[in-house]
Amino acid sequence: NAGVTQTPKFQVLKTGQSMTLQCAQDMNHEYMSWYRQDPGMGLRLIHYSVGAGITDQGEVPNGYNVSRSTTEDFPLRLLSAAPSQTSVYFCASSYSILRTGNTGELFFGEGSRLTVL
Amino acid sequence: KQEVTQIPAALSVPEGENLVLNCSFTDSAIYNLQWFRQDPGKGLTSLLLIQSSQREQTSGRLNASLDKSSGRSTLYIAASQPGDSATYLCAVLYRGSTLGRLYFGRGTQLTVWP
């Protein structure tokens, strides 16, 4: 199993450009989420999904879009990049705690480091 | 507000010491608490998960305890080694919060020197 795979690992954008960060998991997890990690701010939840076709906003959703057309994939789209979106982005997934016997242990990808100039 | 606090923010110790990292949370109604390790430039690796019904979990030199009534968890690292140097984060899944949403502390940055 590859676990949670994120691409690209590094990306540099100019202000106003758009791009998509890819996230895929091969563990058949219902729950997927995107966090950003900034110095002094910790991990902040951007968007999450509890299953295919279902997404919702986290703490800091502005400037980002998501969709969940399959169980495996959960891409994060930056619509018009701003310097404030310079950060490290992490995708994470888990089984639903509603699934009998599952603890909800969260698994993370290696991260995508984004710089917006 | 559901918060998670970790103390200390940074810790530097010589090799061989036994360590305790602290995590506190504001609401005792939790599903689980998870401890992660993060190496510089890397993602988060799950170390231990304690379910609400459990008091502690052990993995090798690591032991995590949970006291819901006081809103505290501790991560005990026995016989620390330089390879243990990393940032350790705890995360809480609260009952009543959005399903699956974890609340993270800001971490304890641990340095173990030879």
- CB contacts of A43 in chain B (<8 Å) are 89, 104
Nearest to B100 among A43, A50, A90 (CB): A50
Q: Do B104 and A43 touch (CB under 8 A)?
A: yes
Q: What is the pLDDT of residues B16-75, one digit of tens each?
A: 999 999 999 998 889 899 999 999 988 999 999 999 999 999 999 999 999 999 999 999
Q: How far apart are the first and last CA of chain B?
A: 41
What is the rounded distance in angstroms from the CA atom of residue A74 to the CA atom of residue A71? Answer: 8
Phi, psi (degrees; rounded to nearest 5) at A85? -95, 5
Q: What is the pLDDT of residue B101?
A: 78
Q: What is the pLDDT of residues A89-105, one digit of tens each?
A: 999 999 877 776 677 78
Q: What is the pLDDT of residue B97?
A: 65
For A36, which residue in chain B has the nearest alpha carbon?
B43
| pLDDT for residue B86 is more than 90 | yes
Q: What is the pLDDT of residue A89?
A: 97
Please name which of A4, A55, A62 lies closest in space to residue A36, comparing C-alpha atoms.
A62
What is the rounded distance in angstroms from the CA atom of residue A106 to the CA atom of residue A80? Answer: 30
Q: What is the pLDDT of residue B1?
A: 67
Q: Do A103 and B49 touch (CB under 8 A)?
A: yes
Q: What is the pLDDT of residue A5?
A: 96
Q: Count the neighbouring beta carbons within 10 Å of the beta carbon of residue B43.
A: 21
| pLDDT for residue B99 is more than 90 | no
Q: Kindly state whether B95 is in contact with chain A, defined as any CB-CB distance less than 8 angstroms.
A: no
Q: Measured between CA atoms, how close is A24 to chain B, in angstroms?
A: 15
Q: What is the pLDDT of residue B3?
A: 86
Q: What is the pLDDT of residue B98?
A: 62
- Stated as kind and residue range, the H or E segment containing A38 is strand A31-38
Q: What is the pLDDT of residue B2?
A: 75
Rg (CA), chain A: 14
Q: Measured between CA atoms, how close is A15 to chain B, in angstroms?
A: 24
What are the residues of chain A with a beta carbon less than 8 Å away from any beta carbon of chain B? 31, 33, 40, 42-43, 45, 48, 50, 56, 58, 90, 92, 94, 96-98, 103-111
Q: What is the pLDDT of residues A7-64, one digit of tens each?
A: 999 999 999 999 999 999 999 999 999 999 998 888 999 999 989 999 999 989 999 9
Q: What is the pLDDT of residue A42?
A: 85
